[in-house]
């Protein structure tokens, strides 16, 4: 959907030769992957679907190989869509192009449901993910409320931050316990989550728990494995909590009925909602305007309610995380 707007704006500028590189950076070097000619006619309806028209992949070749490919294809504007890792790759490509004195403008656009890129109010995909995640929470609420001593447990995406879990919990209004990676917690003991769940079952008869995928990793055995992009592969906190809750309540003689929902890819695969569609349109248009203004090594984003260009170097220093002292987190606790 994002590059639909990029294609529209490029054509407005009179650009005739627009191509899409399939499957991310892999499309620059993998044999058998051919670039795709793009036009308004080809992309005008892609906003009606979720997913990625060009495809995605993890990992990539050496930066020098990618820039070799850019030179060979005579590309002079490169628009890169993605999250922190994609932005880091775009910055490396920008630096390599500068080193070679190539006239190539590299512009990134933030596209990640995790909303975890520094300095940005929100990234494309976040609002849609929260909306879909809220549906999972509402399903867990209905199931838990309908069961005798029902406990609804929902695991949501959030590789390094708890923004989806926090905002989905806030918007649903049904969550009793929200667990995010920024706030340490224990399951056992006097102040553990399990003891609090006991209290909730005694006082209201059911409860709903929302947990971000990166939460509580210190409670799990680490595999040490990484994916093709070098990201740590997390142990499954959702399944671990499901088993721990079942065992705990069985041990204390309470017939708790745990309903576990993991909507992971359903949250990511759906069509963008109205809020994200507007954000996507503006960021895509601005990316092209920035490239034609002669900028490179920038990202088109929204910061402090303003649409701006930021140097990629400033937004890839670390992932953005929920501030446990922020008003938004305290609103969630309330």
Distance from C-alpha of 176 to C-alpha of 28, rounded to nearest angstrom: 47
Q: Which residues contact 269 (CB under 8 A, 6 or more apart)?
A: 50, 51
For the chain, report the end-to-end CA distance as a whole number of angstroms: 36
Closest CA to 308 of 291, 290, 294: 290
Catalytic residue among 114, 127, 262, 276: 114
Element (H or E) spanning 107, and its range?
strand 105-110
299 burial via Cβ count (<10 Å: 0-12, 13-18, 19+): buried
Q: Phi and psi for 279 in degrees, rounded to 5?
A: -60, -45
Q: Phi and psi for 193 in degrees, rounded to 5?
A: -60, -40
How many whole angstroms from its chain centre is CA 251?
38
Distance from C-alpha of 134 to C-alpha of 113, rounded to nearest angstrom: 14
Q: Which residues contact 47 (CB under 8 A, 6 or more apart)?
A: 1, 4, 271, 272, 277
Helix %, strand %, coil % for the chain, to 5?
45, 15, 40
Distance from C-alpha of 169 to C-alpha of 199, rounded to nearest angstrom: 20
List the Cα angle 291/274/306 in 5-degree steps. 45
Closest CA to 257 of 152, 142, 187, 178: 152
Q: Is 236 a catalytic residue?
A: no
Helix, strand, or coil here: 180? Answer: coil
Catalytic site residues?
Answer: 114
């Amino acid at each position: 959907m994002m590059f639909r707007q990029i294609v529209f704006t490029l054509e407005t500028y009179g650009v005739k030769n627009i191509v899409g590189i399939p499957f991310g950076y892999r499309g620059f070097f993998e044999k058998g992957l051919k670039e795709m000619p793009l036009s308004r006619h080809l992309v005008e309806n892609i906003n009606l679907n979720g997913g990625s028209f060009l495809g995605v992949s993890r990992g990539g070749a050496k930066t020098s190989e990618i820039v070799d490919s850019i030179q060979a294809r005579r590309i002079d504007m490169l628009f890169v869509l993605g999250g922190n890792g994609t932005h880091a790759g775009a910055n490396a490509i920008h630096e390599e192009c500068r080193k070679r004195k190539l006239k190539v403008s590299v512009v990134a656009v933030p596209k990640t449901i995790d909303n975890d890129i520094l300095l940005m109010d929100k990234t494309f995909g976040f609002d849609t993910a929260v909306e879909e995640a809220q549906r999972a929470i509402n399903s867990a609420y209905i199931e838990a409320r309908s069961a005798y001593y029902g406990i609804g447990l929902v695991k949501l995406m959030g590789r390094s931050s708890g923004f989806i879990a926090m905002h989905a919990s806030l918007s649903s209004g049904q969550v009793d316990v929200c667990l995010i990676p920024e706030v340490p917690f224990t399951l056992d003991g006097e102040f553990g989550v399990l003891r609090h769940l006991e209290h909730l079952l005694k006082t209201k008869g059911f409860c709903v728990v929302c947990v971000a995928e990166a939460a509580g990793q210190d409670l799990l055995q680490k595999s040490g494995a990484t994916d093709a992009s070098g990201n740590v592969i997390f142990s499954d906190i959702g399944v671990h909590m499901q088993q721990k809750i079942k065992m705990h309540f069985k041990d204390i003689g309470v017939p708790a009925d745990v309903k576990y929902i993991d909507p992971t890819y359903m949250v990511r695969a759906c069509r963008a909602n109205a809020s994200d569609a507007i954000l996507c349109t503006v960021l895509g248009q601005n990316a092209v305007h920035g490239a034609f203004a002669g900028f490179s090594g920038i990202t088109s984003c929204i910061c402090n309610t303003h649409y701006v260009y930021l140097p990629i170097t400033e937004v890839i220093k670390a992932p953005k995380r929920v501030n446990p002292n922020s008003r938004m987190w305290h609103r969630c606790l309330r």
